[in-house]
Amino acid sequence: MREYLATLLARPDEILLIQGAGGELLVARIRALLSALVLVLPLANAVGGAKVSETLIGLGAAVLTNIVAQVWLALAHNPRRHRWLPYATVTWDVSATTGVLVLLAIGDRAAGLNSMVVWAFYLIAIALTALRHDGRLTLYATVLALVEYGLLAWTVLGTAEPEQLVSVDYGIASTGTQVERLVLLLLMGLLTLAIVQRMQRLVELSGRDVLTGLPNRLWLLQRMPAIFEDVREEGGSLCLALLDIDHFRRINDDIGHLDGDRALRHFATLLGETLAQGERIVRIGGQEFVLLLRAPLGNAWERVDRLRRALADRPFVPEFGGDPQRITFSAGLAAWPQDGADLSALLHSADRRLRQSKRDGGNRVVARDF
């Protein structure tokens, strides 16, 4: 349970944040659609013989909801610029529901507590947080709904006369009914948290290499646009190094596939020891790795070449017998944006230089075209 809560409350992986940003836009569109449909509710109540005051309250709330929904939709088109947006929209979704219930309670105490149609928007607000892939947001929405509705029920039940809690249209507002609704809100929150946790796990697995635990090609494809944007905003340099282990098939044949897998993990561990903050190592193929280095091309070449020489001094020792294996690699480097403005162009430049390194005999780092 402790690990489960830690996973939910931790800051999501970057892939999840990117997908959550897309989820925020989807939620904004759903909110706009639901808000448009909400305009029908007060009109339907009026046709059904509802009080004029209730109809006016519902109509005013529906118009305001539609206006705000369009504002959220406009902001959601650039969610990375507005990182506060998910919490702001969740606060609106929950508090707007509470606001309508308060207005209903002013006219009819029982209506404020027993209006099932309006109260159901709490459940919708909580459920929609699953599309943001952030357990913290789901927890926030659940707690906010419980607190706001709990205070509303406590205030109305504590201040109303018994006859005010009875309505021909909405029945009797009782303490037991309100407790049941709070329990339903809690259950919806727990269910949504379970869905978010499951989604986080699936996305994490899809973006991770099973053998080494490193980010994989899918992670790289999804994450690179955000990395480019971060470097552009923060300044500094970015280089991509494409590494390929020399003669790995022969090594695999000599020591066996199990030790071959261990050799790959050994290699990945050594690469990881060289990374600075904000840098990444990604496994994109069998024996191919990508290093994302926050350094200019010359400095990146020095670091990768130093890694190449250090790796030669730390041979891999097979677990099931056999001689220590000296692992070397060839590498091609590309600088952003000089050698490519996007991931595809950078990989193409780095791969061209990697092939040059192989043609020159391998076990070397190439950073420029010849």
CATH number of the domain within which 239 lies: 3.30.70.270
Residue that terminates a domain, selected from 206, 230, 254: 206
**pLDDT > 60? residue 348:** yes
pLDDT of res. 286: 83
Would you say residue 211 lies in a domain?
no
Query: Which range, of 197-201, 246-250, 307-311, averages the lowest pLDDT?
Result: 197-201
pLDDT of res. 6: 61
pLDDT of res. 205: 64
Query: Which range, of 7-21, 43-57, 311-325, 330-344, averages the lowest pLDDT?
Result: 7-21
Residue that terminates a domain, selected from 148, 178, 206: 206
pLDDT of res. 276: 82
* Residue pointed to by tokens 């021909």: 168
* Residue pointed to by tokens 């109303």: 160
Q: Mean pLDDT over residues 257-272, rounded?
A: 84
| 167 and 258 both lie in a single domain | no
Which alpha helices (H) appear in 256-366, and where do they start and end? 257-272, 297-312, 343-359
Query: Which range, of 10-19, 50-59, 178-187, averages the lowest pLDDT?
Result: 10-19
Each residue's pLDDT tens digit, 64-76: 888 888 888 888 7
In this structure, the strands spanning 365-366 and 329-336 are: parallel
Q: Mean pLDDT over residues 257-265, rounded?
A: 82
Burial 136-149 (b: 16+ CB within 10 A, else e): bbbbbbbebbbebb
Would you say residue 212 lies in a domain?
no
| 175 and 235 both lie in a single domain | no
Would you say residue 104 lies in a domain?
yes
| 169 and 281 both lie in a single domain | no
Per the CB < 8 A criterion, the answer to whether 194 and 129 are in contact is: no
| 148 and 244 both lie in a single domain | no
| 19 and 85 both lie in a single domain | yes
Per the CB < 8 A criterion, the answer to whether 138 and 196 are in contact is: yes
Spell out the residues 6+ positions from residue 186 whose beta carbon is closer than 8 angstroms to its own.
142, 146
**Measured between alpha carbons, how far is residue 355 from residues 205, 348, 351 in Å?**
31, 11, 6
Q: Nearest-CA neighbor of 134 among 9, 259, 304, 291?
A: 9
Each residue's pLDDT tens digit, 125-134: 999 888 877 8
Give dist(CA 273, CA 48) in Å, integer: 70
Q: Nearest-CA neighbor of 30 among 132, 181, 117, 135?
A: 132
Q: How confident is the model at residue 268 (pLDDT cuts 50, 70, 90)?
A: confident
Range of the domain at 317: 217-366
Q: How confident is the model at residue 50 (pLDDT cuts 50, 70, 90)?
A: low
Spell out the residues 6+ positions from residue 14 whose beta carbon is closer than 8 angstroms to its own.
223, 226
| 42 and 181 both lie in a single domain | yes
Q: Mean pLDDT over residues 146-167, rounded?
A: 89
pLDDT of res. 44: 72
Each residue's pLDDT tens digit, 111-121: 888 888 889 99
- Between CA 191 and CA 207, with CA 138 as vertex, the angle to 5 degrees is 90
Tell me which of 54 and 39 has the higher pLDDT.
39
Give dist(CA 180, CA 109) in Å, integer: 18
**pLDDT > 70? residue 320:** no
Per the CB < 8 A criterion, the answer to whether 111 and 104 are in contact is: yes
**Helix and strand totals (H; E) in the chain:** 14, 7
Per the CB < 8 A criterion, the answer to whether 173 and 156 are in contact is: yes
Residue that terminates a domain, selected from 174, 206, 238: 206
Tally the domains of the chain.
2
pLDDT of res. 146: 96
| 80 and 121 both lie in a single domain | yes
Which alpha helices (H) appear in 235-326, and where do they start and end? 248-255, 257-272, 297-312
| 60 and 147 both lie in a single domain | yes
| 67 and 130 both lie in a single domain | yes
Each residue's pLDDT tens digit, 201-221: 776 666 677 788 888 888 888
Give dist(CA 347, CA 242) in Å, integer: 7
Would you say residue 67 lies in a domain?
yes
| 221 and 201 both lie in a single domain | no
Tell me which of 50 and 195 has the higher pLDDT.
195
Q: How confident is the model at residue 143 (pLDDT cuts 50, 70, 90)?
A: very high
| 185 and 80 both lie in a single domain | yes
Q: How confident is the model at residue 323 (pLDDT cuts 50, 70, 90)?
A: confident
Give dist(CA 51, CA 107) in Å, integer: 10
Give dist(CA 201, CA 195) in Å, integer: 10
DSSP 13: P
DSSP 11: P
For 318, the token pair is: 């097979």
Q: Is the pTM of this model over 0.75?
A: no
Give dist(CA 259, CA 220) in Å, integer: 27
Q: Mean pLDDT over residues 43-59, rounded?
A: 70
Q: Tell me the pLDDT of the chain averaged across its residues.
A: 83
| 25 and 124 both lie in a single domain | yes
**Measured between alpha carbons, how far is residue 287 from residues 43, 223, 252, 325 in Å?**
65, 21, 11, 15
Q: How confident is the model at residue 141 (pLDDT cuts 50, 70, 90)?
A: very high
Instruction: Report the side by side order of strands in the sheet with 365-366.
Output: 280-283, 288-293, 238-245, 329-336, 365-366
